[in-house]
A and B are shown apart, each in its own frame.
Chain A
Amino acid sequence: EAQVTQNPRYLITVTGKKLTVTCSQNMNHEYMSWYRQDPGLGLRQIYYSMNVEVTDKGDVPEGYKVSRKEKRNFPLILESPSPNQTSLYFCASSLYPPTAYGYTFGSGTRLTVV
């Protein structure tokens, strides 16, 4: 089944403890992206990647890191999480260019930083 798989589904952590949210897709998509969703703010793009070793900042990149060493994986790294990073996170992928295709989204990761 074609899908984007995120893990974990739920995560509670403490301020400052490094964490990684994994994302993997099995559709051979070039383009991958991370979003966060907050009430009243909609979805905001954190980072995106147009292909292996090519990443760029979205609208809200502060406090996040990404890497794209393999085409299928695009992990999101929070080096020192803070409470304002409590949010619902989505990974998404698409054929390139994404303008011509729809995104396939993962099921989301609900992160709480205390």
Chain B
Amino acid sequence: SQQGEEDPQALSIQEGENATMNCSYKTSINNLQWYRQNSGRGLVHLILIRSNEREKHSGRLRVTLDTSKKSSSLLITASRAADTASYFCATVALSGNQFYFGTGTSLTVIP
């Protein structure tokens, strides 16, 4: 399966700390995307990193991609209580149009 797997499944940190989530996948990809989902709501697109990019920033978010290890990480710096959500990576294989989502990392930021 192409499905990405996030690690850890759950993460709890204090406000102000950094949060790091990882995503591993199995086959070659065109790009990898990260999404956030607040409880019971729709997913919100955060950032897209292409297979020829190694690192990308957006505000307090930093994403890295290592295609040799088939893995990506999402770093949220100076976390806030409002960052409490589930975070998913999504990959698209080179061969198809389908997205494959992982099962997510549940992040809790304690005020």
Contact = CB atoms under 8 A, between A and B. Distances in A.
A89 B64 CA distance: 30
Contact of B103 (A42, A48, A97): A42
Interface string A77-114: 00000000000101010000111111111111010000
Nearest to A38: B103
Interface in A42-62: 42-43, 45, 48, 50, 56, 58-59
B70 interface: no
Contact of A105 (B44, B92, B97, B102): B44
20 contacts: A33-B99, A40-B103, A42-B3, A42-B104, A43-B43, A43-B88, A45-B99, A48-B98, A50-B97, A90-B43, A98-B92, A98-B97, A99-B30, A100-B31, A101-B48, A102-B35, A102-B48, A103-B35, A104-B45, A107-B41
Contacts of A99: 30-31, 92, 97
B28 interface: no
